[in-house]
Each structure stands twice: as structure tokens, then as C-alpha cells.
Structure 1
Amino acid sequence: MYAVTGGRTAPRGGLAVEALVSSATSMRLGMTYTREYRAISELCRQVRSVAEVSALLRVPLGVARVLIADMESEGLVRVYQPQLEAGVPDKSLLERVLSGLRRL
């Protein structure tokens, strides 16, 4: 994974683990892109969180964050960051997450 991210362990910009990611193109990425880019693009045909992408690809969260941020800068994916008010997460979001965890 070190080679895939160029040794980086964190994205250049802020990327929350709960940020949602979707593929920016309906076409499959060609062989000019890395295997990881192609896999992320395919996974994100459905909107997924950064944490989900990491888990589904079985790569460390830091690696997923770096790859997704790089893909966003190349226009390959769209990232929807959570809206924070004064640095505090939305209370309804936290309640939904807690509810989902309880159902597990």
C-alpha cells in the first residue's frame, strides 16, 4: 500500500471518514488507472462512505482516504463532506448512527 499512496498516510485536504463518495463517471475506468482506482470507481456507483470503501476493499482507512482524495482531485469521484456547524456534527446524524449501531 505504501507504493499505491506514494508513502502518504493522510489526504492532502480534509476528508472525513463519514464523507459520502460517488463515482463521477458512468464509464468503467480503463487500464490506464490503477487497480485500486478502478475498484473504488466500481464500488462508488452506489453512494458509499469513505469507511465503507475502506472496509469493502480491505485496505487501511488512511489508504482509502488518500486514494479517494486523489481521485476527487482528478474528477473521478464526487465527495460529499458532512456539514458541520461550528465544528460540531449534526445531532440528527449522530442519532441515526446510534440507532443503526443499536440495530446491529
Structure 2
Amino acid sequence: MGSRHERWVDEAAGPLVRPYAITRGRTGPRGERLDLVTILTGTGRPVPERTRLSPEQYRMLALCRRPTTVADIASDLALPVGVIEVLADDLMDLGLLGVARPAPVGRPDMDTLRRIRDDLRAL
């Protein structure tokens, strides 16, 4: 047995905290799944009173002051993408994070496609 001041750490990885401890046992988001390139942005709303956020969620909010992908957040926080999904889901439920959706792209008409084809052939 170790001393009571012993820390549970891995020298290379730092303090070891299991993902289920960070997500409070949840393994997936309640809402829609996020993929690696989903862009999250902070809404700028204040944290509701009596709401307890984890340190990881505060760090996510700080990162999302600018539009940031799920992959970048996972990398910056050194957490699995599944954990980021759960934490982001909670923040979205509170109205603190939003998903930046790209504008839908319409299909080009056939004349445009033919012009592109012809220009490529001309090269």
C-alpha cells in the first residue's frame, strides 16, 4: 500500500482519469453524433446558475471562442473523441455551445459542368 499522499499518475501521461469518470458514466451523446470535422462554437451565454461544469468543459468553452473542430478539441484536451462528444452534448443542452453548419451547396447545372469539362480537356 502507498502513502496517503501518493498520486495515481502515469509518468508519461500525467494524472490518470478514466473517461467514464469525466463523462459521469455516459458513453455517448443524447443528441446527434458529432464527427471529427464538426465545428463547434461558443454561444457566449453565461453558465447558468447552479450549473457545475467540469474543468474539461470550461477548457472546451475557452477553445470554442473561435470555431473549432471536434478533432482539434480532442487533440488539445488529450481526450478521446467519444468523451468530447458527451461533454459537448451537455454544453449544447445548456445553450453554451453550438454547431456551425456550413451553408448547403447546390448542385451545379449541366452547362456549368460541361464548361468545366471542356476547360479541363483544353489543358
State whether TM-score is above 0.5: yes
Q: Give how far 1:82 is off.
A: 5.9
Q: Which segment drifts farther, 20-29 or 42-51?
A: 20-29
Q: Where does the alignment leave 5 or more consecutive residues of structure 1 unmatched?
A: 86-104
| Higher share in helix | 1
**1:10 maps to what in 2?**
28
Aligned identity (percent) is: 32
TM-score (norm 2): 0.58
Contact 1:23-1:45 at 8 Å conserved across structures: yes
Q: Which has the higher contact order (CA 8 A, sep 6+)?
A: 1
In structure 2, the CA distance between the partners of 1:84 and 1:69, relative to structure 1 (3 Å rule), is farther
3-state secondary structure, aligned to 2:90:
helix
Number of residue pairs matched by the alignment: 85
Deviations 1:51-83, CA, capped at 9 Å, x for gaps:
110011000110011101111111111113567
User: Is the CA contact 1:18–1:82 (under 8 Å) kept in the aligned structure 2?
Assistant: no
What per-residue deviation string (whole Å, max 9, x for no partner) do you get for residues 26-57 of structure 1?
76899942101110000011110111100110
Matched, 1:65 2:85: yes
- Gap runs ≥5 in structure 2: 1-18, 106-123
**2:26 partner letter:** R
Counterpart residue identity of residue 15, structure 1: L
Deviation at 1:17, TM superposition (A): 2.0
Q: Secondary structure in 2 aligned to 1:46?
A: coil
